[in-house]
Structure 1
Amino acid sequence: MNLKQFFRFVEIQTKVASQFPLILGSLFCVYQYGRFDWLAFGLFFTALLSLDMFTTGLNNLFDARRNRYQFENKRDYHNVLLRDDLPFKWAEMILLVLLVIVLITGLGLVFQTDLIVLALGMISFGIALIYSYGPVPINHTPFGEILSGFTMGGLITFLAVYIHTHHLGWVGLQGDYLQLNLREILRIGLVGMPLILSTANIMLANNMSDLHEDRQNGRFTLPHYIGLDHSKRLFSFNYLLIYLVITILVITQVLPWTCLIV
């Protein structure tokens, strides 16, 4: 497997969706709290990118195993493993390496921060697995947009802020109790809302374009249940809601006015 095939296997062009919340969450942290931890950022960036590539690669590997005899001509396949007739063992080795990188950088981030990051990281990893793996993977159901939006848009944004500000104490353990600063958590949740909706829209657009192929492969996503017309309306409504939330956050001075330009 050469570099070009590897990039197609992990669909490198889609990785902006996971890195965008990390970058914007970190920039918000600089704007709101005046803090930035380069080491924590680097560890989180590497762990997040590796986990995203692992999830996509795992999904493509399972799809290749299910659909390897669907077409007689290899050029009819979209999956690079089938199109280029690549050994599945190579894909498994790459996934193992990515998983090791996730574990090493993830544990490094925990040592750099605290156990809250470990707990949220385990939740993220669990969601990544059930998204592509299991009797009924989440990406085969109408809940893919919701779960990917919550995880990539919301949870990553929260972690992106928390890794820089964990020592401020607005989330932590107080004896046997979890201590929460609900005001700060709500603020970060609102900042993450545009990213939650935009991530969900990315998945929705992808599922709309792949509707026919997904049905053939046994994937019954949200557009299958609500139809293309309602999916397009939902897509437009989400973007209107994004602009509304950003405007409110700028008016309340949670975000700088320059966000309106972007």
Structure 2
Amino acid sequence: MNGQPTTTGPAAAKGWRVWWQLLRPHTLTASFVPVLIGTALAMPLTRIDIPLFLAMLTASILIQAATNMFNEYYDYKRGLDNEHSVGIGGAIVRHGVSPNTVMGIAVTFCGVSVLLGIYICMESSWWLAVIGSLCIAAGYFYTGGPLPIAYTPLGEVAAGLFMGMGIILIAFFIQTGTLTLDSLLVSIPIAILVGAILMANNIRDREGDEKNGRKTLAILLGHKGAVRFLAGMFIVSYLWVLILVLAGEVTPWILLVFLSIPKSIRAVRGFQGKTTNTEMAPAMKFTAQVNTLFGFLLAVGLFLNQWI
């Protein structure tokens, strides 16, 4: 593609699909599933404040979408993405959208999230302003700044802590005004699975990332080692839930999450023996679907415990 991309031409022709792809919708489960779980955990303790729930849900989705756009912008600026890249929104390199437009939308999303965060703080605690700011900063510095998190082995940890555990605990806290051991323990497998989405992405992009100077965990482990690590993340998540139930910490209803095991097996097998990004793309989507299915089943189990 010659010159600076613009918002005319291919983007205008394809319409809303360009902007929908820019959001990378298959990754948005990492934002709304934790909100559902944190809220479900709060149900036995309090009456749910629906406006607070909706504000938290919207802010989380906007921050995740903005993170994806920051990723799109900086990967383009650093020359990592081209029109043949797999798993990207492609608004800039394939559809001619201006990089400044992508950055502008990302900043706008963050701004709306801040406004929602102010409302949430007014209704709960201003300490959440600090945590919310850290979540937005983590989204930006994942690919932005002088030392992007994406270039280190800490990407999975950062994603799991901020987009998994952090969102669950915030969603729980704004409803109850407190934190409990159960809310912390239940958040751990979700944090692992949010990190697994990033691990799957890094497995798929391992060779290209290594050529561009990244040092992700997938690069350090190599393809086979990274796939084994991903499988281990799935195993630990399911075992963690089983242990919580056997210890009497949570309702046996959350064993519904085991219905998602076939999807996790497909995700792991989808990476085994594969060598190209295109071949591994389905496995990346399966991994995101594991997080979605596991999280929804966990939330359903918590809801059933409340009503049955």
1:145 matched residue in structure 2: 156
SS state of the match for residue 246, structure 1? Answer: helix
Q: Report runs of 4+ in structure 1 exceeding 3 Å deviation.
A: none
Residue of structure 2 in register with 1:37 after alignment: 49
TM-score w.r.t. length of structure 1: 0.85
Matching residue within 63, 66, 70 for 1:54: 66
Name the residue aligned to 1:122: 133
Number of aligned residues: 241
Q: Contact 1:249–1:255 at 8 Å: present in 2 too?
A: yes
Q: Does the 8 Å CA contact 1:9/1:81 hold for their aligned counterparts?
A: no
Deviations 1:114-158 (A, max 9, x none): 112222212222222222211110011111011111111111111
- Which shows bigger deviation, 76-85 or 47-56? 76-85
> Are residue 10 (structure 1) and residue 6 (structure 2) matched?
no
1:159 aligns with 2:154: no
For 1:110 and 1:122, locate their aligned partners in 2 and report how far apart those are by CA, in whole Å: 12
Q: Is contact 1:77–1:83 with CA below 8 Å preserved after alignment? A: no
| C-alpha deviation, 1:77, in angstroms | 4.3
> Which residue of structure 2 aligns with residue 177 of structure 1?
none
Cα distance, 1:41 vs structure 2: 0.7
**Structure 1 residue 252 displacement after superposition:** 3.5
Gaps of 5+ in 1: 172-183
Deviations 1:19-67 (A, max 9, x none): 111111111211x424311111111111111111111101101111222
Counterparts of 1:127 and 1:98 in 2: how far apart (Å)? 15
2:85 and 2:238 map into 1 onto residues whose CA distance is 38
Q: How does 1:173-252 map to 2 (within 5 A)?
A: 184=180, 186-252=181-247
With over 3 angstroms needed to count, the CA separation of the structure-2 counterparts of 1:77 and 1:194, relative to structure 1, is closer
Structure 1 residue 200 displacement after superposition = 1.4
Aligned match for 1:21, one of 34, 59, 63: 34
Classify 1:146/1:98 alpha carbon distance in 2 versus 1 (closer, same or farther; 3 Å).
Answer: same
Please report the RMSD computed on the Cα atoms of aligned residues, expressed in angstroms: 1.9
Q: Which letter does structure 2 place at the counterpart of 1:51?
A: I
Match of 2:84 in 1: 76
Report Cα offsets for 1:147-205 as digits up to 9, x if no partner. 11111111111111101001xxx46xxxxxxxxxxxx2x32221111101111111111
Of 114, 124, 130, the residue aligned with 1:113 is: 124
Is the Cα–Cα contact under 8 Å of residues 41 and 183 in structure 2 kept in the other structure?
A: no
Shift of 1:93: 2.7
The gaps in structure 2 that reach 5 residues or longer are: 1-10, 258-308
